[in-house]
Homo-oligomer: A and B are copies of this chain.
Amino acid sequence: MTISKAPGPRMTQRRIAELVGVSQATVSLVLNGKADEASRIPAATRDRVLEVIRETRYVADPAARRLAGVGNKILGVFTYESAFPTATQDFYTPLLTGIEAAAEELGCDLLLLTSAPVIDGRRRLLHEQNRLGLVDGCLLLGLEMDTAELEQLVAEGFPFVAIGRREAQGVPYVGADYVGGTAELVRRAYALGHRRFAYVHLTSTGESILDRQRGLHEEIAALGDATVLMRPSDGTDSSADWRAVRDSGATVLIAETVRIADDLLDHAKADGVDVPSDLSVIALGDVTTASRQDVDLTRLVPPRTLLASEATLLLARILDPSHEVSPEEARTLLDCAIVDGATLAPLRATP
């Protein structure tokens, strides 16, 4: 046998109509349950049509439906990262899990926009031949997004929701409250006696990263007598990062990611610095959540799965014409969980 390539003539409403002996319009009316409202199709006719539909296993062509202006219950999923989600599994798997669970709940299908081309190191959503026109709305993932694209989507009135807070005007999102979470961790360290902080952070301008910095700075300022060394890092020279931290005399190290924390823990161990008795370590964790070490790192964990399912539900609400979504509802932050690990301890009495 050879695989048939010709999908053959698709079943259409017209064919159904011919089989039943009615018009295509009648079939459409029956199919959409409009048989009772404006138009009047008696039960007898309706049942005959339904019978043939069942026999032929006809299903309406979604493209045609879409063209005719009805929704399709298809949500798009797009990521601005340059490789599609599951490559960096720790990060995206929980997001996809949340999206899928919500989509299943809603009875929606998901269109993963894997085909978006990478231009200038970033994926482009609005490229030629994108499939956005097929979906009812779209979910946007990624640490950084293209503000211009977001604004165009808003301007066009295209329904979408970003996962993660976005500055851009009018962009609906569901994000993690990194400001509050970071502040809470700083407070906890302060309560344990720590006054000198070091923050090894990324230099990206993504909102999540800015939020963590803001939470840190605001809380440090609010506490009054605490200080912080800011150490920008691209993760490539952890030796230099470690030296900066050590020389700063900080008693708490806050690392932007678990990976950074891991690297610096290695250096600490090599230097004979004990964690947490000599130095407390906190990770704010993004990108990857699982620590490769068997240390139980005290850290911030964004509720990724919940974030994603809430974003999906928000999108569904936006798409529902019977609701009006308020601006506040369209921009939501969810609390991060704090993993109360073993790397944050009271300041030693005598340093």
Chain A contact residues, CB within 8 Å of chain B: 1-8, 10, 53, 57, 59-64, 66-67, 72-74, 83-87, 89, 93, 96-97, 100-101, 103-104, 107-115, 126-134, 152, 156-159, 169-170, 172, 318-319, 321, 324-327, 330
Contacts and interface: CB of A to CB of B under 8 A. Distances in A.
A3 B59 contact: no
Contacts of A64: 63, 67, 133
A76 to B, nearest CB: 9
A74 B72 CA distance: 15
A110 B109 contact: no
A86 to B, nearest CB: 4
A159 to B, nearest CB: 7
Nearest to A11: B156
A87 B83 contact: no
A103 B104 CA distance: 22
A115 B157 contact: no
Name the prevailing secondary structure of the A interface residues: loop
Contacts of A100: 84-87, 112, 114
Most chain B beta-carbon contacts within 10 A, residue among A10, A66, A172: A66
A327 B84 CA distance: 32
B59 A129 contact: yes
A59 B130 contact: yes
Nearest to A1: B170
Contacts of A109: 111-115, 131
A108 B97 contact: no
Given A109-B112, A111-B111, A114-B109, A133 B103 contact: no
A107 B115 contact: yes
